[in-house]
Amino acid sequence: MAGVPYDQMGGHIWFNGEFIEWGDAKVHVLTHGLHYASSVFEGERAYEGKIFKLREHTERLFYSAETLGMEIPYTVEEIDEACIASLEKQGLRDAYIRPVAWRGSEMMGVSAQKNRINVAIAVWEWPSYFDPEEKLKGIRLDIAEWRRPDPTTAPSFAKAAGLYMICTLSKHAAEARGYADAMMLDYRGQVAEATGANLFFIAGGVIHTPTPDCFLDGITRRTVIDLAKTRGIEVVERAIMPDELSGFSECFLTGTAAEVTPVSQIGSHSFTPGEISRSLMNDYEALVTGKAGATKAA
């Protein structure tokens, strides 16, 4: 499907409780979610026909919706079932699943208490978020100008559409400069995350990762921390300042789309993907695919 616009892909989308043709899954131009970012979503992957940590993703979707004052008109169980049915309907075993909920067009303005909460689930093939060859040798990150906001100014712990505006700006700027992505700082100037993935650093055999106190504590992030601890690798969650980057030997990203991706450069700082990064990348692949010898997460 490379090069095909997303609105022109084939198959079906689960839309407010029923499957409709892919091309018919449309919303009005005056939908509140488009104008005021009243929308939340999830990103999930299926491996060998099974959606990895489906319940955790669905529960986070409901948490995000509740944070934005949106009541999803389905149960967690119904959304789980709809995600599984959507994967089967598309006839895919390895795929990306995107549930999304948004306020409709019944009211236009900042206030929208009477707007319907719509829910849709789309499934498509999405093999690798980053270029496969570049991923193996480690991707390069720019340092973004935009910063993750103070939790008192935005719903930082929700997977809400509006929070990704600065991510798009940062990734576009990075790609224009020849980088694959960008590292974002938080409102205090501390290392936060990439534009759509969490960050990990390694020094002296110990993994260091920023405390997720103003950005998403990713499901893949928690999974990889468990995998590292299963291997007996110490994981330290703490505040990390940009001037510490030169003291780390390895760096990698984690995320549903990114999976485990080594990093070779952030700005002027260089890293060499090593044993810990490779081991966790292999452990994660074994876990999600259910291959023999997979390391079991705690």
DSSP secondary structure of 100-130: EEEE-SSS-SS--TT--EEEEEEEE----SS
Task: Return contacts of 31-36, CB within 8 angstroms, 24+ apart.
Answer: 31/102, 31/103, 31/104, 31/105, 32/102, 32/103, 32/104, 32/105, 32/107, 32/108, 32/112, 32/115, 33/102, 33/103, 33/104, 33/161, 35/108, 36/103, 36/110, 36/112
Our answer to whether residue 159 is catalytic in this structure is yes
Torsion angle of the four alpha carbons 187, 152, 157, 127, in this order, in degrees rounded to the nearest 10: -40
Looking up tokens 């576009």 gives 172
Q: Which residue of the set 159, 171, 229, 291 is catalytic? A: 159
Q: Which positions are annotated as active-site residues? A: 159
